[in-house]
Every structure is written in structure tokens, then in C-alpha cells.
Chains A and B, each alone.
Chain A
Amino acid sequence: MSDMFDPRPPRIAERLLMKIVGGRDAEVIAGDLREAYSDRGGGRLWYCSQVASCLLVRLSPHRRLVPDLRYDLHYALRILRRNPGYAVAAMICLALGIGVNTTIFSWLDEMYLRRLPVPDPTHVVSVDRAGGPPCSWREYRDFNQSLSSFSGIAALIPKGTYMDIDRVNDQIHAEVVSANYFHVLGINPKLGRPFLPSDDTPASDRVVVMSDRVWSRRFQRDPQAIGKLIRIEDRWYRIVGVAPPDFRGASAPLAVDAWVPLATYPHYQPQLAADASAAGPGVFLIGRLAASQTIAQASAELDVVDARMRQAAPKNPRLSIRMSVRSIAGYSWAEARRGLLPVATLLAAVAGIVLLIACINVANLLLSRAAVRQREMSVRLALGAGRGRLIRQAITEGLVLAIGGAGLGITLGFWTNQLIGAMLPSSNPELAIHTLYLDVNGRVMAFTAAISILCALLFSISPALENVRADLTPTMKGQSGPGAGARQSRQRDLYVIAQVALSLVLLIAAGLLVRALQQAKSTDPGFATDNRFYIRLFTPEGDFTPPAATSLYQRLLDEARSLPGVRDATLSFAVFGFMDGDCASITQAESPRKLSLNVVESNYFNFVRVPLLRGRTFSSADRPESPRVIIVNETMARRWWPGEDPIGKTAWLGCDGSKPRVPAEVIGVARDSKYGSLDEQPRPFYFVYWRQVWWNGFFALMLHTAGDPHELAQPLLTLARTGGPNLRIYEMRSLNDLVALSLWQVRWQAGLLAAFSLLAIVLATVGLYGVVAYMVAQRTREIGIRMALGAQSIDVKWIVLGRGLRLTTIGILLGLVLSAAATQLLRRFLFGVSPLDPAPFTAAALAWILISMLASYLPARRATRVDPVVALRYE
């Protein structure tokens, strides 16, 4: 779309021009611009800036804004230089607001907007079926060449895998791809070669292109790395290329470290080599649209392919979802995009509130400046300056402040980003968003510029209007006009009230999230976690036959039980938050439902204190060749066989397709527990026996210890290492740590919101202090008279404190009402805590009353020090 020259200039800009300038003038200018636009061969930015120049001129009353702007700017800079204290204060306030927003936006940018770092990224699209793979490898190979709307389509499967370089075992993310992958994306390796068409057959040599990151970490950027052999999933691969530094694959948020051809990938190669027409695995597709083709055209063409596939396999439920084509922007993993949306919205809203509070603060500051500069403004008015001109001057000053604030804010953004990043868990394979980084690209800059201008308008308009309302005569005489003072102080009062109300909303939201965290922490996961420790192991298929792996695990289990300080040990495929899914149905004919399962040792239920409510656990009599048995949880028993005894019932296991479905007899019912997260609803779940069903080689070896479970870490690791170099060792953790880790998101949200609300409170407190202090300064004379007439210092203190408290109280009431509405939106983050939970509401209100007392105390004390003689001398 963008690489082709479009003779028509941007429509919005042109329409804006016609609308605002209007008439014949607009006709002529639009004609001129169109002519010049096609002369210079495009340039949307240029066009927009030209239109902007016309609008600026048009907005100026004398149509002389552009030359005047320079004077305004010059004058603004001079004024700011003369009052650096006030300028710095305003800029710091703005920097806080803008910095927070820049960070949050750059994060949203990465999640939802950023394109792949490839040539012409707008033409790169992904194809999927509701987040799942759209077709099999075979189907891809069949239709790949026949589509005219694509200049190329590549297949890929993102994989979490491991890689050995010089006996160091790394867990990495890899993309298993078709050989045309780099060609379709338009990426040239910075070293070596991309894949060749000859890499696309099962008989080819195994080759790998690795990331710049691995190259520099493991090979110290040695060009000799090309041609070396490394092991991926226990097979030897020859390094043929190194990807460019900024390219991290097409599976964001995962950062990919290795690309390998699918045809020779160990999981698929045997099948593809044995049978040329084998379906192969399901693959994701990324394609590059052919020149002048649109997504709609590509979509229509794929619909035809889809219909053909459905004809070939009418029963396949996978095909019932339509293939969808979308342009790749942000995370390509749709689930991650959707899953993070609520958090993203929350953060954006909170950042917006902080910015609003910062703007109000600056407006307040400018208003007090306006009071000081009333005389200057009156003089300029008297000398014939137009009121519009003065307003423009004020806005220019605001813009200068905003630009300074934006500059500081971007710097600050880096820090905020580090901070937010540091609060994320360092290793959470499912989330993998620790790749978060602030990339100040054009979009982020544009966003920052836009909010800065918005801020400048927000905070400078009302003081600007105040300026020009000045009544000439009294102000020039050095008195303040009677109306102006009252109006100004009313306005400042409103500002303070708004600030208190807004920061109260943030405070209450933070409080609710902290409550939610407490609530979540006290949730019973339904299984024992104290003194339980596990290490996760994996026996890759290539190195271990199932019998060899079984006997290895049996030996490890036996030896673990005899470690000193160990009460018991067990094996479990799933650990909390990590499990596998399968399908099952009650009858063979029925279409299977999806549900999760665990593969366990027979003592598992006793080990984690999940009682069997009915029936028995697995026993050594349940052998691979004997009838299949399963244990179901309460929810499954209740939903699948309502009102019946589930023991002895049959469930058909397995999804359609890959493996034949097998009947299994229910032999026991286990109590429900939490499997994936603490806030999940009860869900059907079943268990199979690891001696009866070989799953895939993953097991957590779990220990129940007498003392501190962490003391067993070293002996357990030593034990696991006896499994030899081919036994993969993953994380070790106590079950308590694992459950705590699952709460990272709540903890992170609560932490962020607490930090933001703290920032908001600091800003609002400064605002309140300013207003009260200003009031004391204004009423010095009155206070002097009162004291001369016998008022005690406590009375004077109360005048001041009372003012602060009155404003705060109104702010609090308003804030409570706002919060009651706003916290409804938080419901999904709250782990069942009511959005109207009284504790945070009360605590936040009390906290604000305390803060307001503190903020007004200093000015109050100053008021009592007023010497009546000095105060009255001015009369």
C-alpha cells in the first residue's frame, strides 16, 4: 500500500483544508498542493505540514501568526529564563505525567502496533484459525504455490525447545519453518546464508540460522561460528546463518533464538520421510501480499482454498473455524494480545489520570503566575495588544513548558520502563513478556508530542483567559481587581478539588488491588504446598525410549525417597499453572470435549493431600496392557454423570485425528483443587497413571521434606544429574513459591497502581499546599487585623486548616462517588473482592484527610507568625 505512489494526497488533510480555510482560497491552495505533491512524488508528512501552515495562518486574527509566533516564542523563553524556579517546577510536574504516559504507550505500541523489522512490513500478514494453526504442513505445501494474491507464504511453528552449545544447555524459543521463511519476510542473514529450497526435504542436512543474541552470547560474535555444529533437541545441526540483530522472529512476544527447517525437524522428519503424503503437523502461516493486493483479496482467495480443504475432510472440527488473514502489528500471538487487553486498558486509564493531575497542577501554577503578571498584561492591553494575541502568548508559554516537560518525560520514561520491567517475574515461560523494552520510535514520539500539546492547551487556556479579563485601571494602579481575586481563588479551589478526587480514585483502586492480593494469597489452592519441592525433568524422545525413561524416573523416584530429610516423593506431569490438555467424551460416537489432565504416580493424591472421595488410586496392577483407568475430579464426576455413581463408568479419551480413541474406566473421584490459577472456576479434570500411559517425557519429581524444602535443592539437583547429560533439567521450586509466582500479575498491578497513586498524591499535595499558602499570602492583612483584635494563634491556624480541610472534604466526597463508578471496571482483577469493599474506601479517605492536614499545617504556622504591626503597615 505505502510503497506505491498514490497520486492522491492524504484525504483527511485535504478535507481539513477545505473545511477550515474554505471557499475559493481553499480551492486554489488544494490545487497548488496537489500539483506540488505529484511533482515531488508523494510525502504525506510534507503535505500535512503544508496544510497545518494554512490552518495556523487562518487561526490567527490578523493572518500573521507565523511571523508572530517567533516573537511569542522568544518572549516566552525570556519569561521562563527570568523565573527558572517556576518553570522547573512546572516542567517536573509535566515530566512525571508525560513520562508515565510515554512508557505506557511504548508498551502498548509493542503489544498492539509495532510492525516486524522487515522491508515493507505492512504487506506482511498472518493466517490463522481463531489463534490456531490454519492448515497442516501437507495442505500448506499443496496450495502454497497456487495463490496469486501472495508473493510468498511461509509456514512456521513456534516452539519452546532447548539447545546445547559446547555442553551448555539453553532453553530457547525456536521457529520451525518452511525454507522460504527468510525470503518471504525479506530478511537477509547478517552472516552466512538463509535457508535454500533444498533444505525443504526430509533427506536434507539439518541446518540452523541463529539469532544475533545467541551468536554474541555463545560465540562472542565469531564469524567462524558459521559451519559449526550445535545440538537442538538432541540432533546435530550445522549453523548456516546469523539473523540481523533487530529481528527476533514473527512470534512476538516470544523472542526467537533459532530457526530450523520443518522438514528435518526431529519431531516431524521420520513421518515426512516415511510417507510423502503424510499430513504433518499443523502450521501457522505468514505471507507477503503481492503488489497491489489487499487483505480482502487474499482472504477471498484463501476462502476458496478453505472450501477445498473442507471438502477433502468434511468431518474435521478444526476446519469449522474460518481462516482469517490479518496484518501483523504488535504481538502476533492473538491470545497474548487479548489476554493483556484489560491490563493495558487499566494502565492507559491510570496513566491518563496521572497526566490530568499533573496538568491541573501546572494550570494552578500558571494561575498564580497570572496573578503576578496581571500588571504586565494590563499594560500590554492598554498599549493596544489584542486579547487574542495575549491568549496566544500564554499558550506559547504553555507549549514551551510542555516541550521541556516532554523532553524530561522521555528520559524519565526509560527509568519508569526499567522499573516496570523489573517488577515482572524474571522467568515465566507462559507469559514471556520480559522482553518488554522501550523503543522510542516515530509513533511513540508522535504520541508524546500529541499529549504534550494537549497538556499545554489544557493547562494554559484558563490562566490565559484570566489574563485578558484583567480590569485595566485598578491593576495598573497596583491593586488587584476585586472580581478577579475571587474568581481566581474559586478556580484554584476547583482545581484542588479535582486533584483530590482524581488521586482518591487511584488510591482506592490501588487499595482494592492490595485487598485482592491478600484475598488471593489466602485462597486455598486445594492441595498441600508446605514443605513440598519439585524439579522438572524431561527425557527427549530421541535419547530415551519410553521404557528407558520409565526406568530412569522409577530409579530417581526411589532414590529421592531415600534422600535424608525426605518424607515422601512422587512424580507428576503437571505442576500448578502448567498442564496438558486432551479430549474425552462419554460415548465413542459423541464429539469429544476438551479438558485438562495430569499424569501421576499412584501416591500423588496422598502426597499433595487431595483426598479421594470415592474409589481407589492407581495400583501396580494397572499395566500398559491392562484396561485403561482414570481418576476424575469432583466437578467432572458431577457434570458428566450427574446424580450417578461415576465409579465404573467409561470415558472415551483422545481427540479426533492423531491417535485412536480409547475407552477408560473411572476408578476414583478426587477432590477439586486449583490447577491453573488461584482464581479459576472449578473445572473438569482427570488423572492417568504414568506406568500405564506414557505421556511425553516431562515429569516433576516432587519431594515432601521434613524441614526447609530449599535445603533439598542441592541434593535433588545432584540426584537429577545422575540421569546423564541427556536428561533435561528445568526449574526447581517449592510449591509455595510456585503458587506465589502465579500471583505475579495481581502483585504487579497492585504495585504499579500503588506507585501511580503515590505519584498522584504527591502532585495533588503540592497543588493543595500551593493553594493554601497562596491564601495565607493574600489574607496576610486580614490575619494581621484579626490578631491585633485579639485572635489567638489557634484560631488563625484553624482558619487556614479549615480552608484546606473544606476543599479536601469536597474532593473526597466527589472522589468517593467517582471511585464507586470506576472500580466497577476493576472487577475482573479483584479475585472476588467487592469493588465497593469499604476498607480501601475508608482508608483512602482518612489518608487524604491526614495529608490535607499536613499540607495546610505549614502555611497555617506561617499565618500565626504574622506580625500585626508589619501586616497593617501597608494600609
Chain B
Amino acid sequence: MARDHLGEFEQIVLLSVMRLGEGAYGVPIRHEIQNRTGRQVTVGALYATLDRLEAKGYLRSWFADPTPRRGGRSKRYFKLLPGGLQALTEYKAMLDQMWRGVRLKGAPNV
């Protein structure tokens, strides 16, 4: 299998982890995705994807910071690893290649 191939949702998740930087854990990641894409994301799907990305070596995670608002349960923070950054870059480059010279009807010229 093509190891460094990103799925669409994986891409979105990686991007939101990157955008959030220091504060990237479950709740804000979901918020980020929902606010920016308008998609409703279930926790189940989100953590499944995060686990997969971590297994692929694109992310790393650690547990920290239990607060009373969470019923004293710790958060799991995520951080983008160089591998993840590279996968995103490759993906974007690939898409850019594909888009080059293509013009959609009614859309502004890129």
C-alpha cells in the first residue's frame, strides 16, 4: 500500500492539529473541524483517525492536564511530527499539480 497517502479526513485532522499548535487536544480539534468545514465529527471517528495517524508516525501524543470540568480526567494532547508535515506538503504539492491550469466555470482564476 502507498504508505504516505493521506485520506481526506486524515488531512483535515492533521491540519487542525497543526493550526491549534500547543492547545491541540480532542475538544478543540473537533471544534476546529466543525467551525472550518461545517462537518459534524463523532469522537469515535476522530480518535480512530488520530490513532491511525500516530501509528503512521505523523503525530505524537501525551496525556496531561486533568481539570475538574472534565471530571478529573486527563487530556490527550497531539503534536505534528516532521513526517506528518511532510505528508501534508506532498499532498498539497500533488493537488497543486493537478489544479494547475484548471479553471472551474464561474470561479476566480487561480
Binding site for B on A (CB under 8 A): 24-25, 27-36, 38-39, 49-50, 52-58, 63-64, 66-67
Contacts and interface: CB of A to CB of B under 8 A. Distances in A.
Given A28-B75, A31-B66, A50-B42, A57 B48 contact: yes
24 contacts: A25-B47, A29-B26, A31-B26, A31-B66, A31-B70, A31-B73, A32-B27, A32-B30, A32-B43, A32-B75, A33-B43, A34-B70, A34-B71, A35-B69, A38-B69, A50-B42, A52-B44, A53-B43, A53-B44, A54-B42, A57-B45, A63-B48, A64-B48, A66-B48
Given A35-B69, A36-B27, A29 B43 contact: yes
Nearest to A26: B73
B73 A34 contact: yes
Contacts of A67: 9
Q: Top 3 A-B pairs ranked by shortest CB distance?
A: A53-B44, A31-B73, A53-B42
A63 B52 contact: yes
Interface string B14-26: 0000000000011
Given A24-B63, A31-B66, A36-B27, A53 B71 contact: no
B108 to A, nearest CB: 33
A66 B44 CA distance: 9
B51 interface: yes
B18 to A, nearest CB: 19
A66 B70 CA distance: 26
A865 to B, nearest CB: 55
Contact of B45 (A34, A39, A53, A55): A53
Given A27-B73, A27-B74, A35 B27 contact: yes
A28 B52 contact: no
A148 B70 CA distance: 35
Nearest to A38: B69
B68 to A, nearest CB: 10
B60 interface: no
Given A30-B73, A31-B26, 20 more contacts: A24-B63, A24-B74, A27-B73, A28-B74, A28-B76, A31-B74, A32-B75, A34-B69, A34-B71, A35-B69, A36-B27, A36-B30, A49-B42, A50-B42, A53-B42, A54-B43, A54-B44, A57-B44, A57-B48, A67-B9
A52 B44 CA distance: 8
A426 to B, nearest CB: 50
A360 to B, nearest CB: 33
A49 B44 CA distance: 10
- By size class, the interface of chain B is 20 to 34
Q: Is the interface of A mostly helix, strand, loop or mixed?
A: helix
Contacts of B51: 63
A28 B25 CA distance: 9
Interface in B22-73: 25-27, 30, 42-45, 47-48, 51-52, 63, 66, 69-71, 73
Contact of B26 (A32, A38, A52): A32
A33 B30 CA distance: 11
Nearest to A49: B42
A53 B42 CA distance: 6
Nearest to B51: A63
Given A24-B63, A63-B52, A35 B45 contact: no
A677 B52 CA distance: 71
B73 A28 contact: yes
A56 to B, nearest CB: 6
Contacts of B75: 28, 31-32
Given A63-B51, A63-B52, A50 B76 contact: no
Interface of B: 9, 25-27, 30, 42-45, 47-48, 51-52, 63, 66, 69-71, 73-76
Given A28-B63, A32-B27, A54 B47 contact: yes
B70 A35 contact: yes
B44 A56 contact: yes
Contacts of A66: 42, 44-45, 48
Contact of A57 (B25, B47, B73, B74): B47
Most buried by B among A31, A49, A64: A31
Contacts of A58: 44
Contacts of A31: 26, 66, 70-71, 73-75
A776 B88 CA distance: 61
Contacts of A29: 26, 43, 47
Contacts of B70: 31-32, 34-35
Contacts of B73: 27-28, 30-31, 34
A64 B26 CA distance: 19
A53 B41 CA distance: 10
B9 to A, nearest CB: 8
Nearest to B41: A53
Contacts of B74: 24, 27-28, 31
A517 B43 CA distance: 59
A57 B42 CA distance: 10
A32 B25 contact: yes
A666 B106 CA distance: 104
Given A28-B63, A30-B73, A35-B69, A50 B25 contact: no
B44 A28 contact: no
B52 to A, nearest CB: 7
Most buried by A among B51, B66, B71, B75: B71
Nearest to A33: B43
A20 to B, nearest CB: 11
Nearest to A52: B44
A55 B44 contact: yes
B11 to A, nearest CB: 14
Contacts of A55: 44
A33 B42 CA distance: 10
Contacts of B44: 50, 52-58, 66
Contacts of A53: 42-45
Contacts of A33: 43
A30 B71 contact: yes
Contacts of B9: 67
B69 to A, nearest CB: 6
Contacts of B52: 63-64
B73 to A, nearest CB: 3
Most buried by A among B30, B44, B71: B44
Given A28-B76, A31-B75, A34-B71, A50 B43 contact: yes
Nearest to A14: B71
Nearest to A63: B48
A148 to B, nearest CB: 33
Contacts of A49: 42
A53 B63 CA distance: 22
B28 to A, nearest CB: 10
A842 B78 CA distance: 73
Contacts of A63: 48, 51-52
A24 B76 CA distance: 9
A31 B70 CA distance: 5
